[in-house]
Every structure is written in C-alpha cells, then in structure tokens.
Amino acid sequence: MHNRIHFGKTQSVLSAIKKAYGEKVDVDFACSESCDACAWAKAKRHPRDRVSVRKATRRGERLHFDLFISPFRSIDGKIYLLVVVDEYSKFVYVRGLAKKSELPEMMISIIREIETHLQNRVGAIEGIGGIAAVRCDNAPEHLVSELLDKYDRSGIVLETSVPHSAFQDGMAERHGGIIWHKAAALRYGGNLPNKYWLLCCLSSSHIHNRLPTSNSIDNKTPYELWHDVVVPTIDLIDHFRRMGSLCYVTTPHLTVSKPRKCYRAMMVGYAETLPVPKKGYLVIP
C-alpha cells in the first residue's frame, strides 16, 4: 500500500486505509520501514537550535558581513551594499560599492577602523584585544587572497558557513534585510527616487545604531555598547529628521554676497555616515 501512494504516517490516512481494508492490511507494519523514494522526494532538515553556543562576550570579538545587490544604481554609481555587524553590540557598518572587486579594500578599511576604535577608545579601558573572528558565506569575493592575507597578518580566524546554509551567517543576512527594508520605508516616506537608495541605507544604519534592538544587553543601544557610553535616549534620537523634508540652510556671514542669507534644500541623510564623518545633515539644494 505504501509503495502505491507513498503516504506518510498521518492519522487520517491510516484511519482511512484501516476502514477500507479492515484487518486485511497491517498498516503499521507496512509503514514501519524506511522508504528511499520518500526520503529522496520529501527529506527535510531536522529542526535546529537557534541558541548560539559561542556568543561573543565583548565588542569586536566576532564580525559578520555580507554583500547585497540593489536593483538600482545610486547617484554615484554604486550598486552593492556591504553590511558589517558586530555580534556583541549589533553595531552596523554600511558601505556602498560600485563593483565586487572593491570589497577587499573596503573590508580591510573597516577592519582597520574597528581595530583602531577597539585599541584607542575601548581597549585602554577594558584591556581587550582586537578582532578575533570574521564570519561570512562562501562567496568567491569573500575569499580572495588579499582578504585572507589580512586575516593571517592580524590573527583573525575566518569562519565560513556551510554551502546552502544561509542560517549559519544569519546575523549578517538578517541585519542586511533590516537595513534594506528600513531604507525602503525611508525612501517611500520621503518620496525620493530610487537613485537615493544608498543614502537611505546609510541613514537606516545611522538610525538602527541609535535604537535598542529586541535582544539588547541591558536595553542599551548598539551605539552605547559599541562606544562604551551611556547616553540619554533624547540625545540619541532628537536629531532624527524625515528623509526628503524641506530645510533651509544658512549661508556663513563671511560668504554672503547676495541679500538672501539661506537657501532651500532637501534633507537626504546624515553627514556622520560619510567616509569622513561630520556632525550635520546631508542636503541637496
């Protein structure tokens, strides 16, 4: 009977067969043996434990990163989005790339920035080391010799996920989705064209780092955990503005050559997300 219909051991099917054949067929015996055909066609992975057994215990201990592609090109020709997440604090670094070959140089730059931060700002207080491990998937652009040499020189352990097991690099995958979807909402809410997707992603990471996450340590924000500070929430979020909103930019008095002392502009992001961070806003006249 099993070879006729290849059914599973569901109660409804067993009851129907017993009702039809009575005692003529020993259904339990017929279903007790494993079936290669069912295994080949219906095999699924066993449920996995979502709890990590090697959680990071300090900032910078393990970084997760992944590369995402956008369906649009940004105003400066970028089409890829690099997302780097610190496992302990959930602090996110976001960068735009024009092509995949730029990944090694950009990743090395971020690693140097993080190592400097850990050594100068946090290491002096906690006495901790630098980056201990980096986790990513097996994409070819993640395993180029330039990056591998950097890991070897810095004593960083490279942890790659098993092929077709995206959940093993779930932190980077999840945060990439969070950044992208939040950026899309910012773009739609500000009625911005698609070419501003990267600016919206940078603003999304800026906002994400200053709001607590669902599994925050002591309900602290990633910004507070990453910089080892305690900041009132109002000071972290009071400068947030609506993307695409109208603003007036004042002109410095020494440069005023016309009667107008300001000009109208559109707010499109936060200057802190620039390669050279500044305390201010990004605007387009």
Say yes or no: 7 and 92 in one domain: no
Say yes or no: 74 and 175 in one domain: yes
Which pLDDT score, from 0 to 100, does residue 124 have? 44
C-alpha distances (whole Å) from 1 to each of 9, 24, 25, 113, 155 are 12, 11, 8, 65, 60
pLDDT class of 117 with cuts at 50, 70, 90: confident
In a domain, 185, yes or no: yes
Say yes or no: 186 and 86 in one domain: yes
Say yes or no: 174 and 278 in one domain: no
Report the number of distinct structural domains present in the chain.
3
User: 253, 215, 259, 179: which is closest to 88 by C-alpha?
Assistant: 215
Which pLDDT score, from 0 to 100, does residue 244 have? 92
Say yes or no: 79 and 216 in one domain: yes
CA atoms within 13 A of residue 232's CA, in its CB half-sphere: 4
In a domain, 57, yes or no: no
- 189-233 confidence digits (pLDDT tens): 999 999 999 999 999 999 999 998 877 788 899 999 998 899 998
Which pLDDT score, from 0 to 100, does residue 262 have? 83
Amino acid at position 162, single letter: V
- The domain containing residue 25 runs over which residues? 2-42
Whole-model pTM: value is 0.80
Say yes or no: 199 and 254 in one domain: no
- The answer to whether the CB of 231 falls within 8 A of the CB of 224 is yes
Helices (H) and strands (E) in the chain, counts: 11, 8
- 53-83 confidence digits (pLDDT tens): 678 888 888 999 999 999 999 999 999 999 9
- The percentage of residues in the chain with a pLDDT greater than 90, rounded to a whole number, is 46
Say yes or no: 87 and 195 in one domain: yes
